[in-house]
Chain A
């Protein structure tokens, strides 16, 4: 399935002779409008959630809806057909989408965030990746070094196998991390962007939760990657990626590992709100059963039970706390990037790790939210396909992602803090 951009991108040449792609809404779109569009999709996303799980991928119709709404372009450079907006806009949208379908929100977070990631590459690489329509959809496997690369004339030769490639069914590129083998030196981390046509998918995504993300395995058996689609992790760590010199906006100077650690967290917050919404509805619709005397239904609803009300209040406040923290952290990261760019300083390891730590805290609050909702909902909400059981599976599964794990976030922050 390859529904592609259905909007007309204007291609022009600027005063410096550079080719410019312009999305028709680039100058008019607002955060409020994007959030409104996301909110409007919630009912249809809820209605498709079971089909999305069943299909184990982002549904074509949902992909089309996201494309139409311009969501994939939120963080993409304006020059390459994007909206060039901050992390807080993406997170605000993800929270609403996650309220409808956590898996769909996850794919949106990954793919939209990685349309930013593509802007870290050399300028000619970006021109190629964004193409003539500004569609750059790429799952990426940076961690764990799934690939092996060696230097060849004009570029690299790459082979590898990358697990957990969320959104792979709708992507036109793959982001691939690899170890670069150089004789006489320790291997260096490097990441590539490769056309989707040069790899194949192993359909192995059969999991407890997040089924609709289709986070399958990508395999590439020996392909040539030109220099322009390569980026060394040493440049990432030095906060001196090729792309950070291409774009004036400090958005593109944000350290990559800070950026991608927080790009998808809104999916979890959305899942937490979805569980709260479902529980709130149970409060109005699920009858209280009588104790003894046959245990039949009474006219009272769950909202009349104090312990139910407490769980609902607790769950709602946990979701609110997660949302507030995520949006504040997104804005703080953007402000920090602007400050660093203005003063010419680099972010410290601790500052980067703190962004990750705080978003892992958000994730933990979301896990607690769905647990509270599940506990209050009772056995009838464990029937396969009930939104509360799906949210529980989704948010717990999501929380195992190594970048979203509080264990890993806390350890990395403390190590950076003490300079260990």
Chain B
């Protein structure tokens, strides 16, 4: 699957090669959201097939590609739109209203064009190629092993949960450096970009929900990775990714966890809103049954308990949406304030993005649970959109980044290690 758009390749005044997407200067947040909204009916129609296929469908990849969705947070210089992560989330939310799995994949794959912008210039030249079409699936937890070879590294390992790997043209995995076959203590590790043809994808994604994400395992056996496609983890940890010096936009200086914890969360909000949409349909289409009379003329909207559940779910989904977009904009404005001063985020500031993402996913779980409870047994038949939303939402909530237990603990640890006092916002940082 390739981009069907003509990307212009030029050399700028500094002699750098520049890729320009034809819409790079005209695209707006509103247009992207409009395109996402327009896709919802088709995504709903494909949702069952997407689950069955256990991967993002080719026609959906094509639709996302044509709409420019993979380029939202991609550097302009490499054919992207370079818009804020808040725009990505608004698009993901709409897509999630149609299909949770497709939204999850879009969030990951669309978000990782930002990730690709963190490599050094030579690496980005390679990653973005001549068309700027990067679809990168990742597992960043560092389960692999690598050793130095001439011009780069050789990486081996098994990597789990690579959402979208079937449609990706790059895979990024974490690997620790071995020396003489041993992993020394405090070994450096790297995020390494591989080509899908160099790895084996295992068919091991048979799960409760988000089946259409195809988040399968990948194995690599002594795959060569050039130096420029090995992004050192310590640079990420120190907020010193090479990409922050390649691009002027402060978004590329954002800490990894702050960005990644926001990146996929729009899928949760989209699923919650989808469940609310479905319940709205049920309200006016499902008849009320009584013990003796059977079907009555009334529909579920006549029942007080139904109305309460609908309102509760709707307000929860709305609260989650507001919190997500607030966090996304906060990341954009914080980086705009910090980057010019060379200021780094504290561990507490970074993990707060994770904590609030976990919080809003929990709100989305509650929203879907209310919808599920109100919808009744008829909505539990396989293939009904409500049961799919329920499975997708509960599945999503198990991701480590969204577990309130983990994020609560990590935030509190960072907070008390920092002295435990409420933070004084830095000059220029947005007030909370």
Interface of A with B (CB < 8 Å)?
Answer: 142-146, 164, 179, 187-189, 206-210, 233, 289, 292-296, 305-308, 310-311, 371, 374-379, 381-384, 389, 392-393, 396-397, 399-402, 405-408, 410-411
Interface of B with A (CB < 8 Å)?
Answer: 141-143, 161, 174, 176, 183, 189, 206-209, 233, 237, 289, 291-295, 303-306, 309, 369, 372-377, 379-382, 387, 390-391, 394-395, 397-400, 403-406, 408-409
Q: Which residue of B is nearest A148, CB measured?
A: B294
Check if B387 sits within 8 Å of A208, measured CB to CB. yes
Q: Whole-angstrom distance from the CB of A19 to the nearest CB of chain B?
A: 35
Lowest 9 A-B CB distances belong to which pairs? Answer: A307-B405, A407-B305, A145-B294, A295-B141, A294-B142, A189-B292, A208-B387, A382-B208, A379-B398
Check if B305 sits within 8 Å of A295, measured CB to CB. no
Q: Whole-angstrom distance from the CB of A164 to the nearest CB of chain B?
A: 7
Q: Which residue of B is nearest A389, CB measured?
A: B208
- The contact of A293 among B142, B373, B390, B409, by CB within 8 Å, is B142
Check if B372 sits within 8 Å of A379, measured CB to CB. no
Check if A378 sits within 8 Å of B403, measured CB to CB. yes
Check if B395 sits within 8 Å of A382, measured CB to CB. yes
Task: Take A143-B289, A296-B143 as given contacts and tell me if A408 and B294 are in contact as well, using a CB distance cutoff of 8 Å.
Answer: no
Task: Take A294-B142, A382-B398 as given contacts and tell me if A400 and B376 are in contact as well, using a CB distance cutoff of 8 Å.
Answer: yes
Question: 8 A-B contacts, Cβ less than 8 Å apart?
Answer: A306-B409, A307-B405, A393-B391, A399-B373, A400-B372, A400-B379, A401-B377, A407-B306
Check if A294 sits within 8 Å of B304, measured CB to CB. no
Q: Whole-angstrom distance from the CB of A278 to the nearest CB of chain B?
A: 14
Q: Whole-angstrom distance from the CB of A369 to the nearest CB of chain B?
A: 14
Q: Which residue of A is nearest B176, CB measured?
A: A294
A400 to B372, CA, bound (A): 8
Q: Which residue of A is nearest B183, CB measured?
A: A294
Check if B305 sits within 8 Å of A233, measured CB to CB. no
Task: Take A145-B294, A376-B405 as given contacts and tell me if A294 and B289 are in contact as well, using a CB distance cutoff of 8 Å.
Answer: no
Check if B400 sits within 8 Å of A379, measured CB to CB. yes
A390 to B20, CA, bound (A): 50
Check if A407 sits within 8 Å of B309, measured CB to CB. yes
Q: Whole-angstrom distance from the CB of B331 to the nearest CB of chain A?
A: 21
Q: Whole-angstrom distance from the CB of B8 to the nearest CB of chain A?
A: 41
A233 to B290, CA, bound (A): 13
Q: Whole-angstrom distance from the CB of B254 to the nearest CB of chain A?
A: 18
Check if B373 sits within 8 Å of A407, measured CB to CB. yes
Check if A411 sits within 8 Å of B387, measured CB to CB. no
A308 to B406, CA, bound (A): 9
A310 to B405, CA, bound (A): 10
Q: Whole-angstrom distance from the CB of B208 to the nearest CB of chain A?
A: 4
Check if A206 sits within 8 Å of B189, measured CB to CB. no
Residues of B within 8 A of A392 (CB): 208, 394
A392 to B369, CA, bound (A): 12
| Residue of B293, B309, B372, B377 most packed against chain A (CB within 10 A) | B377
